[in-house]
Structure 1
Amino acid sequence: MVQTVYDICIKDVVKISNDKTLFDVIELMSKTNLRTIVVEDKKNKRYYIVTTTKLLEFKIANINKKTILKDLPINESKALDKNLNLLTVLNYIDFSEEYMVITEFGKLLGIISYTDIVNNIDPQLLMERQTISSLIHQYKAITTDKHSSTIQAIEIMRQNSCDAIIITNKKRHPIGIFTTKDFIDIIHLDKDLSKPIKKYMTSPVDTLPDDTTISKALDFIKEKHYKRIVVVDEEKRVSGIITQKELLRIVYNKWIELIKEEGSKMSKTNEKLIQTTTELKQKISLDYLTKLINRNKFEELLDKEIERFKIDNHYLFSILIIDIDNFKSINDSFGHLFGDHILQEVARTLTLSSRETDIVARWGGEEFVVILPNTNLEKAAITAEKIRISILNQHFEKINNLTCSFGVAHFHNSDSKIDFFKRADEALYRAKALGKNRVELEHL
């Protein structure tokens, strides 16, 4: 079974509000030793990702550390639904989308990278023979002399849009590496950037010979937990640098195309099966007489509304319980076939009187229920009254007028599903007791 993005994402996400400053992000990165921080726009439920590469750009541009995050040029991160499987995601993202957020109803659940997705789909086709020397010409290393100033090294990194620079001696042998992580540490501590880069570089630096196979290079990355590989030629001179993401992209590129092609074939092959399954689910969820959703499906959807209410502080909804007045006497006087006709007509009126977002169901017998999303108690009462009048104005051959009683309730912070329904049901009971054909509201 193919995993979902939620299965493999990083769930322990560090985030910061977009009303904080650039300095707050730098301090948080230094404290948590992370290279990626999620910036949250709570008002609009949007998320942005600040990486060390982005901080490097801000440093070179001399952006003030007191700048508010929402005023900085940070691109919004692509949001993925938690239930998307990895193969589906690969069909509409590419390696340029380095990090994405996982959400549900706008709530942040985790963060995932393109590499995470590719790395968790095992094609069992790792290249055992091809060496990294055949790839490295595309990924030339950016180098600088150990005596260069730190600010010069940072400027070189910015100009080349890279997140690491190799420090070499006169023979071009690598003696150290300076990464964006080192950059974060020194700007957090306000170190002197005029000092030689050798003062802040990480040394020694592990390297791989360029005749190493891709398979072994991947093993090396996993074993060392490195983000990148520094590659040297037979004379130990730097010949290139390649990141884990780039290496994996090359290895899996053809395989991904194959998966897309096979996925398309599978989709066509299974189209009838999927259609049959969908139709079966619909049949199971529908009331056979009125073609409205049934009680079981309604309760499932109500649970989702309650969950959404708990997640979103601004979300609200109400419920209507509708009971046909004197339905037993109609059945007894005119027979069950006429009673069934009445039920179907009331169901039709409820459907026509509802918005696309409303959820209309047959609760059982002559009772119906309607969920009204984004509707407060007052508006729900107005909706109920309109439906009551619509039913009252309908013409039936064997009876003068058909009437219904309505109970209306609004979901509150302290509610359970049982409490919510009980208030609506009690309101319906009052409508019946007060003469029927009326709308009654909940009593708190």
Structure 2
Amino acid sequence: MKKSFIKIFQEENFIGAGVVKTNLWSIMVFLLIVVFGLFYMNQSVRNDYTQVKEAANLQIQLQTLENALVDQETGQRGYLLTRDISFLEPFDRGSMYYQVAASELMDRLENYPEYIDQTRKLIDTGTTWKVRYGDKQVHEAMTGHQVTSEELLSGKKQFDSFRQQQDMLFKKFEDLRNRLRAEMLRNITLTLVGMGTMFVLFQCIMLYFIQRGLRRITIPIVQLDKAVSSYANGNISAELPAYSSSNEIGRLIHTFEDMRLEMQKDQRLLGYTYQMINTLNQAKSVQHVYQETLMGIWNIIECERISIITQNADRSFTIKSSIYHGVIDHKEVSLGGEQKDVHELLEGGFSMIHEDWNVYRPTGSVTDYLHEQGIRSSMHIILRKEARVVGVLNLMSPEQNHFSIQQKNRVEKLAPMIVTAIENARETDKIQRLAMRDGLTGLWNRRYFDESLHHLMTRVVTADTERHLLSLILLDVDHFKSFNDNWGHQEGDLVLKHLGRVLNDYCRPGDLTVRYGGEEFAVLLPDTSLSEARSVAERLRKLIELESPSRKYAVTASFGVAEWDGYQLGEELVHAADEALYQAKDEGRNRVCCYNPKSADQATEAG
């Protein structure tokens, strides 16, 4: 019981705890006020009553003083009249009582100094009567002398003076008593009025705090109702009331606040999801799909790294793109020992969460490196739509048990859309690649050449390492018009196909072979110097001449080779190779010539 009572004052763990606490405090304060008021009134009444009683005792002592003097006067008179000695007994007793009463009366007047002089005078008057008349006349009578009438009259006059003074003093004591009684009644009235006023004031204060406590209950409920109504209308930005108590209302508001934050999070994730779906539908290439997928998942799921793994033609797996702290990297990374884990994941057909890499993780060089970089948990989502699987989406975090089943389910629902986007992008890339192929020779066309040349030059310029080399070969079929004129256009097409096959079969991996236009062809050679490009051109020249498509004629070609100096525009590099090609033709065809900037400058000066 005691613990429950203390708990009410320490916590607000139920609705109305504040009101209950206010009432309890009010009762305690009210009891304190009542106890204090009663104590004060008791002390005040006791003090006032003591003073009233003291005034009454003054009257009693004054009356005792008078009675003692009356006893003396009665005994004196009886003895004078009868000479009976028994009358001296009240005389002596009255004398003794008079002294005692006078002493007590003076003692009681210490608190009332204003009455001391008048009282002392009264006592002296009585004492004078006893000495001058009472004792003297009794002594004279005892010695046989006759007391004269004048002496009796003088004694009577002294005694009457005493009684007059006593009456006046008694009246004053009566007035004092009445005044003290009136003050006592007034103090009692003021105390009761003060207690009543404090009670009324206390009730007003208590009602104020009770009303305030009720408002603390009702206002948050009204505000909560408005906020929840706005949530029902789709406006989840409405703020909930600030409420710090831990009772049912506080817990309810806290629950709704968690719901509001969760709804805002879901709305934000839904926005990112719609944005991701929209960008995936507009993606123009597979690489663009990878980029938008990584950015979309990065916004939806909080993690450190995300990567996309797809299967190559040889059934090996490669990381195609990844994102780390929001930065996209399209560099392809071949998997090592992780190949087995990916195969097992795809064969199992279920996405997985590895909650703690210290307990279990995929084995291989890539995962070893990631573990050294602090990765401690991962989630692997199979990119699948119906029976079609295109790869695995990997999410990694430095925290153990970071990923949840809810997150896995959310990403799994996006997997079919990602697969569709990848397939569509692959088809688009395929169509674009077909559109950039020459229909006769199967080589790349002029459009693809221009884009590739621009890409290679941009790559070289923006590279952080030392400058990359880039060379260009332009070749032209010698006397091609004669093939069309002598043997017809079909034979001319056969010659062009022959050059396309030679270039496609014998150029190095990484070289870009292009039908530049008509009977003119081009070969882009990344990371290749001028001398190396010349050797490639010479080898191609010999192959073209040796492998003629017909015994009726021999096919030859003239070659022009130029190296990019790192500052030229694409058109300038093509122009340099074209000049070298014209030089080869001028020197008799079926040869390779390299562009020499110095000789070109001299020719310009001579011209």
Pick the TM interval, shorter chain: 0.3 to 0.5
Q: Which has the higher helix share?
A: 2
Q: Which has the higher contact order (CA 8 A, sep 6+)?
A: 1
Q: Which has the higher strand share?
A: 1
Report which of the two structures shows the higher radius of gyration computed on alpha carbons.
2
TM-score of the superposition, structure 2-length normalised?
0.34
